[in-house]
Chains A and B, each alone.
Chain A
């Protein structure tokens, strides 16, 4: 059975293809359209998935959309009605946006793919999140917690899942027990602070998490005035402090500003030496603390209720690695699974798997435990482009390439690393990464200044073999699993902090990737080779992109990024390109033409 899953229209659209119960490919539209967080209907992603599998749209048995678009429209309309007459400005915009294309999902799918209505299916938004988390995790029974800004009505759900592997005939069950409904939303609370702190909503929430480590949670009491716990263990937001439910223009109200002070202008850099800079960092630390406390409480209650050992986390909130680590440490669950794409993009895969297991009742199949579902890199493209530009290219066998790159890294060079299929999800997990030595602050500053062009307060992540992780990082039981897809933030052991300065955040923590050899054998070999040279098999691993751009996909995108930033060498397959000094002077004179 061939099932295409689609997520689209709000942020980070994607397509995923499941054949006979197993994912074949999945890719975010942004990787192909080259527009960060592209929300458009994922035509390029769908086309690539079908091409990759050698399928015509007519060969699909089902096309599953990741949410119920009319139910979502009902929520938008209801919220406009409830806010009457204050919603008079946002109402026309919301109606035009929804009625313009977002509610006509059937028509859109039909026009692009030509599949009949009988093959179109819909899941609920949080069902897709739950499926993406549970059905891809190596566990048979688990509690499930999903949390994001909002789906149709639900903003947070709890439930449990069970699957039976007995002879391949067992059914899979995903049971949602209860939900918290819009406008009460942990995701929206965090996004409101994201907007208040001058970052882009639905995109820069991770910057709030990074900034939080620089502050003190001195405004927790103020944040708790915004979010009140209910006697049944849930929460409600005091809507007097918010405006996201009545207008699209601003997330927070004047009362919010009265409580926390003037918001940050997004064009002002955050200077932690100033009073305002410290206030913003304290705000971030306070909302981060409240988010963590709330999630831990809900997860702990879920553990007590279900008695299960494992928890699957889904939804955009599950990208918060600090909260995930606290849930693992404090909720009572022994293992916490977060998929590589817990956000809306991952819903494309979740919807397809949900349809396969739940709607069609097909037996469980194990899903390969890796994130590499996207387009592969073609080393020939890189070699050709580099030669045409008179850049030195070497094609080396596997062992020689790994040794050579380890030499370059040990010499302080920064490497663009492309290997195999691209990752599905927002993290670079070893196939589209920028790698560097993790030892000095100078390296971090150099990456910020010459390569990533990003804020100084944001940390870089380390990658290390699973076997070495515990030596350098304080991992609780189950921490290695959470670190598989870089989903948890853990303390760096104090004795290693000075030697891992480029990847140790200001609070002594790091968002670790603990690498399993079978997941990315080439990067694993590189870590070993680097370890032989330096005694520390840890590398700095950051996504292969520059600020404002999606992670690179093909070799040529990697090459163009390499040419215009401070990366010293680029690897794709067996090809290694070293940058010539001043290879691209600016400006090119007309004499070139």
Chain B
């Protein structure tokens, strides 16, 4: 199996990809995001290597995970190299303090998942990634080092795409095609969920921002007034502070 054919929609969107990658900031941001995605993916596949009962799959998953972590390094190094070439004003934009948080929508559940489901998922994901990376490689032809990164990663992606498919056929010879279709359907569903969550997020932000400017000003005034009365330094804690053990307040 070679590189997957470019999807029709990707062909139509090629000018958009070129526009996205043509901008320096967006290019760097994309590379940083890819580094994070590849790193996360590598750790997930590493977990798969740790929990699979199949020795051959363990070896392959491990090799795959090492590739993904290597890709993360490649993307990180390339984005760092690009950042070096530009002003410090831009650099500071990538220094935001990350908010701690829990697991997101894209989490890949590994523990307790059968190998056939994971292989089908990986096959579909790698195929999609290979197709996208092939486009990105073509649209960054003005930037040979970035193009070289995509070239190198694409070679690995083809291997990942192939081994996941052949292994899926090995461990599930009667139903491997069905598993691949289910993985595609699941991917579509997740894509829908992602869009829905993003839309809900935007709506939530709009509503909360309106509330912020409409409802909060008097309370803000009161809060600031109260703040001015707060003494600097130590706040004594009353010995008889009566916190109810059952209260969240």
Please give the residue numbers on chain A whose beta carbons come within 8 Å of chain B beta carbons, in ascending order. 9-11, 33-35, 37-41, 68-71, 74, 78, 80-82, 84-85, 87-88, 91-93, 95-97, 101, 103, 105-106, 117-118, 120-124, 157, 159, 175-181, 191, 195-196, 198, 200-202, 230-236, 244, 248-251, 257, 262-268, 355, 359, 385, 388-389, 548-549, 554, 556-557, 559-560, 563-564, 584, 586-590, 592-593
Give bound CA distance, A262 to B99, whole Å: 22
Give bound CA distance, A589 to B103, whole Å: 34
Please give the residue numbers on chain B whose beta carbons come within 8 Å of chain A beta carbons, in ascending order. 32, 39, 43, 46-47, 49-51, 55-56, 58-60, 62-63, 65-67, 70, 76, 79-80, 83-84, 88, 91-92, 94-103, 156, 159, 162-163, 166-167, 170, 201, 204-205, 208-209, 212-213, 216-217, 219-220, 222-224, 227, 230, 232-237, 239, 241, 243, 245-249
The residue from A97, A103, A178, A265 contacting B94, defined by CB atoms under 8 A apart: A265
Give bound CA distance, A196 to B92, whole Å: 9
Name the residue of chain B whose CB is nearest to the CB of A117.
B246
Q: Are A82 and B224 in contact (CB under 8 A)?
A: yes
Give bound CA distance, A40 to B104, whole Å: 10
Give bound CA distance, A170 to B63, whole Å: 58
Main secondary structure of the interface of B (DSSP, over half): helix
Give bound CA distance, A545 to B144, whole Å: 35
Give bound CA distance, A41 to B103, whole Å: 9
Q: Which residues of A contact B76 (CB under 8 A)?
A: 267
Q: Are A97 and B101 in contact (CB under 8 A)?
A: yes
Q: Which residues of B contact A564 (CB under 8 A)?
A: 62, 65-66
Give bound CA distance, A106 to B98, whole Å: 27
Q: Are B239 and A34 in contact (CB under 8 A)?
A: no
Give bound CA distance, A178 to B235, whole Å: 5
Q: Are B56 and A69 in contact (CB under 8 A)?
A: no
Q: Are A11 and B209 in contact (CB under 8 A)?
A: no
Give bound CA distance, A37 to B76, whole Å: 21
Q: Are A593 and B205 in contact (CB under 8 A)?
A: no
Q: Are B100 and A10 in contact (CB under 8 A)?
A: yes
Min distance, Cβ A290 to any Cβ of chain B, angstroms: 17
Query: Could you list 30 examples of A-B contacts with CB < 8 Å?
Result: A10-B100, A34-B46, A34-B47, A35-B43, A40-B102, A41-B102, A70-B248, A80-B216, A81-B224, A82-B227, A84-B217, A85-B213, A87-B212, A178-B235, A196-B95, A230-B232, A232-B234, A250-B97, A251-B97, A262-B88, A262-B91, A262-B92, A267-B94, A355-B245, A548-B39, A560-B49, A588-B63, A592-B56, A593-B163, A593-B166
Q: List 15 extra interface pairs beyond A10-B100, A385-B55, CB under 8 A.
A: A70-B249, A92-B205, A122-B248, A123-B245, A195-B95, A202-B100, A267-B79, A267-B94, A559-B50, A563-B62, A584-B62, A584-B63, A586-B70, A590-B159, A592-B59
